[in-house]
Amino acid sequence: MNEYEELRKYIFKYYGEPLTEEEVKTWHKIIYESKKMKRKSINDSDKIKFYKETIDRVLREHKDLVFINRCSICNILARTPFSIRCRNGHKKDEGVWVDPL
């Protein structure tokens, strides 16, 4: 999974609250269609556009709510807003990322 996909997962999983009704509907439709292997009513470029616009909007309009838990050593997004270990093994010690080695 690339960094953008990680961010997409992170935002939709932990910060779904600011999503509009319309965005939730579109999102559920994308997931439903991908699981059912149904004929897609939302094509890939619309899907990418939807995710990009939604993520941009949430980050812009809900700066106070969204905490991007990014490791300051490797600059990679942690799996959750509460993670104290990044995907490269760095640790957060009293709010500061440190290299345990």
Interacting residues with Zn ion (CB under 5 A): 71, 73-74, 86, 88, 90
Nearer to Zn ion, 42 or 76 (CB): 76
Nearer to Zn ion, 11 or 90 (CB): 90
Which residue in the shown chain puts its C-beta closest to Zn ion?
71
Nearer to Zn ion, 66 or 86 (CB): 86
Tokens matching residue 52? 């990009």
Q: CB of residue 27 vs Zn ion: minimum separation in angstroms?
A: 29
DSSP string, the chain: --HHHHHHHHHHHH--TT--HHHHHHHHHHHHHHHHTPPPSS-HHHHHHHHHHHHHHHHHHTTTT----B-TTT-PBPSSTT-SB-TTS-EEETTEEE---
Q: CB of residue 94 vs Zn ion: minimum separation in angstroms?
A: 16
Q: CB of residue 95 vs Zn ion: minimum separation in angstroms?
A: 14
